[in-house]
Structure 1
Amino acid sequence: MENFVNYSAFPAQLFESIDQHDHGFSVLVTRVSYDLDIHSGQLTLCEDQGELVEQDEYYDEPGRSSVRFESDLAPYKPRLDVIINGSAHAPEGKPARHFTVGARIGDFTRLLNVYGPREWRKMVTSWQLSEAKAITALELRYEHAQGGMFRLEHGDEIASATNSVGVGWLPARAQKQLKLQRIAAPQFELLPQPIKNIDDETLPAGFGFYGRGWKPRIGFAGTYDEAWKQQRHPFLPQDFRFDYWCGAHPWMQFPLPKPLSHIPVTLKNLISQQDKPGQEISFSVPVETLFAFVTTQLGAGVSYDLQLDTLVINLPERKVHCTYRTVFSELLEAAVTELRFITAKERKAIVQKAQQQIADTNDDSFTPLPPSLVGLISQESGHG
């Protein structure tokens, strides 16, 4: 492992990984945390940046409840994960049997139908949903979405492939053995996909971290069969895909944001009327200039932009957490890796300083820049 120097104020870690083709690479990850003002929409860097999340944190019992925070130590993510932790709130704080909550992330809108407690009831030839009872709020957890797990005869367990911690799913095998007449029904639905049958295994509705063992995510982990045991173990199967490391709900994964940009976010009915009249929050998440500057064993310097790939909006604590990551091959033969941060206000001055150093042949000083800012030097030169 090469030496690592963190020149930023953010928690960070450098670690080694390997891909499905047995190529080694280094991963540099850091996490930027903001305080969120729900009234003004202003994001302010937290004075205490905390630590990286190094292992999954569950709401309750690990493996039997949904994940509140997933580990930051993923090797690579090909898409942006967006997570919203909090609760759905009825409009104007008035008890309602059904209401809708939503999130707009950039150009994408995602909506959930929310219901009060309701049941599946066994009729002569089918199961039917009862009318929901009125509620004012419901926590955003997959425990309230379609799915579940049952203990059958002889201690056997059967679990939903798409949400093992959910509710309101009853496959034919369980219906036959358990002979239930009523079970609690899901309280969340994806707006374009209403729940129609008690034994459906569609995507559960939610905005939280998606289970590592749930479909379709588990399908990206590859094939661990006898051939893998004999020929590949303990390395990754060759059909492994890094999509597996994307931990958001499949419909909450978006294109990676470009450097120097912003991600506009609008949330509706995810805050109470008491906390904010109108129950809408709007803010813009900046893509910060964080980069790795790598000095190789031969003395060369190479820089890499860190990519924002995880956005966690934690409404109960009024926090927004952004995880950034970059990777580089072991063939680079890194000797020292530095994490550097340039604030938005500093970008122009630092680019101008680097431009002056390049233009002055007598100046042997050097200002490291990430590729995203090197491009600005080229633009300034073109206009100069």
Structure 2
Amino acid sequence: MLFRNFTPFPPLQFESRDEQRRDFGVVVLRGTFEIRNYQPLFLVQEQEPLIMADVYHGEPGKSSLWKEGNLAPYKPKTDIHINAIAHAPEGKPLPQWNVAVKVGKIQKHLLVMGPRYWYQERGWRLTEPQPCLQVPIRYEQAYGGIYQQAVYQENPVGLGYVPSKTAEMTTSTPLPAPQIMSPDDPITEWGKIYKPEGLGPLAPAWQPRVAYAGTFNAVWEKTRWPDLPEDFQFDFYNSAHPDLIYPGLVEGNETIELRNLSATERLQFKLPGFTLGLLVRWEDGEIAPMPVRLDTIHVEVPEMKVYLTWRGIFPVGEAIRVLEVRMRGGERWGVNRMEQVVKYPFLQSQQHHKKQE
């Protein structure tokens, strides 16, 4: 099979299998863009390569996920990942402030605080937050963690997790308290279970992701290994915080707005509006257009870059002669030359079209 890429984005093509043991092909493309405030994303000249494995902020298993690898075969919805540092408004130290994210029709708000601690004085009490200028938005600063042998599965690397209000703990050393929380449910009670808050991706072993992985037991090992369990769901590959999984797939041209997540109080930019698609050419002359969807948006605020990942699937087991990735509507993004190589319309239908004799 000949593979042609008529886009400026580095591609990867591989095969996968679903929970019903059906094989399918996958094409992934990763685009690198520069953030220019109040402007559309700017396509950079030197595109960065795809990421072959998950990248963590520190040691895997002991730190939060920073950059997700690009090897997911399929995502039902679009993930939004944001790596950022909360900046106090007007550059003045504050004990607490709000940050916000808006992407198209969804938005998320966080309350961040300066360092604060739990201490024992006739029960557990909280110190007042210390004024500060910045708070990294990482799950290490959110609610979660490990209490003795009990692990908080939604965020094992966080702070403040205690299984119950009656849990015994005696120490004269103050314990760090979470600095990132929901403004609708601020963390004030020792022993209360809180929802972990953040903007980055969740590791594969964390809840709620791992719940979609299916049942790996002796029956699976005996009857299905190495295939997926029958109850596997592709929602497993949606790695964003549940509040930042888009309701469906973004269409393009959506505006992204970040507040108090950079040195500039408001950072605003627009997603590209072009479309990618696959054109499959079989040995018998039949051709078929198939969609390639934008399913991952990674905003790297410290670098002022955005990484977009598109993914498309196609049938395998048939005699495919040529697989092409094509682009439409890239003129305003500086890639109009890609439009010139398109000889067939695509994304008009998902039905096969016989080549004209």
Same fold (TM over 0.5): yes
| C-alpha displacement of 1:57 | 0.9
Change (3 A) 1:41 1:330: same
Aligned residue for 2:254? 263
Change (3 A) 1:79 1:266: same
Q: Cα deviations across residues 27-49 of structure 1 (Å, max 9, x unaligned)?
A: 111011111113x4342101111
Cα distance in 2 between the residues matched to 1:41 and 1:119 = 41
- The answer on whether the counterparts of 2:165 and 2:191 sit within 8 Å (CA) in structure 1 is no
Residue of 125, 133, 143 corresponding to 1:146: 143
Return 5+ residue gaps in structure 2 as ranges. 351-357
Aligned residue for 1:378? none
Q: Cα deviations across residues 95-139 of structure 1 (Å, max 9, x unaligned)?
A: 111100001111222100001111122343x43322111111111
Cα distance in 2 between the residues matched to 1:173 and 1:24 = 50
- The within-5 A match list for 1:327-346 is 327-345=313-331
Q: Name the stretch that deviates more: 108-117 or 226-235.
A: 226-235
| C-alpha displacement of 1:189 | 0.3
Q: Which amino acid aligns with 1:135?
A: C
Residue of 165, 175, 196 corresponding to 1:183: 175
Change (3 A) 1:325 1:179: same
Determine helix, strand or coil for the equivalent of 1:251: helix
Cα distance in 2 between the residues matched to 1:68 and 1:223 = 27
- The answer on whether the counterparts of 1:305 and 1:371 sit within 8 Å (CA) in structure 2 is yes
Cα distance in 2 between the residues matched to 1:193 and 1:372 = 46
Aligned residue for 2:34? 35
Q: Percent identity?
A: 32
Return 5+ residue gaps in structure 1 as ranges. 355-365, 375-384
Determine helix, strand or coil for the equivalent of 1:254: coil
Count of matched residue positions in the alignment of Structure 1 and Structure 2 = 347
Aligned residue for 2:241? 249
Please give the TM-score of this superposition, normalised by the length of structure 2. Answer: 0.89
Please give the TM-score of this superposition, normalised by the length of structure 1. Answer: 0.83
| C-alpha displacement of 1:175 | 4.7
Q: Cα deviations across residues 239-268 of structure 1 (Å, max 9, x unaligned)?
A: 111000011111100123465x41111111
Aligned residue for 1:325? 311
Q: Cα deviations across residues 137-156 of structure 1 (Å, max 9, x unaligned)?
A: 11111110011135x4xxxx
Residue of 302, 312, 325 corresponding to 2:298: 312
Q: Name the stretch that deviates more: 283-292 or 46-55.
A: 283-292
Q: Cα deviations across residues 152-192 of structure 1 (Å, max 9, x unaligned)?
A: 4xxxx44211101111213359954x533531110000223
Cα distance in 2 between the residues matched to 1:20 and 1:200 = 38
Q: Cα deviations across residues 48-68 of structure 1 (Å, max 9, x unaligned)?
A: 111011111111112211111
Cα distance in 2 between the residues matched to 1:227 and 1:115 = 48
Q: Which amino acid aligns with 2:346?
A: P
Change (3 A) 1:224 1:199: farther
Aligned residue for 2:20? 21
Cα distance in 1 between the residues matched to 2:305 and 2:85 = 14
- The answer on whether the counterparts of 1:78 and 1:256 sit within 8 Å (CA) in structure 2 is yes
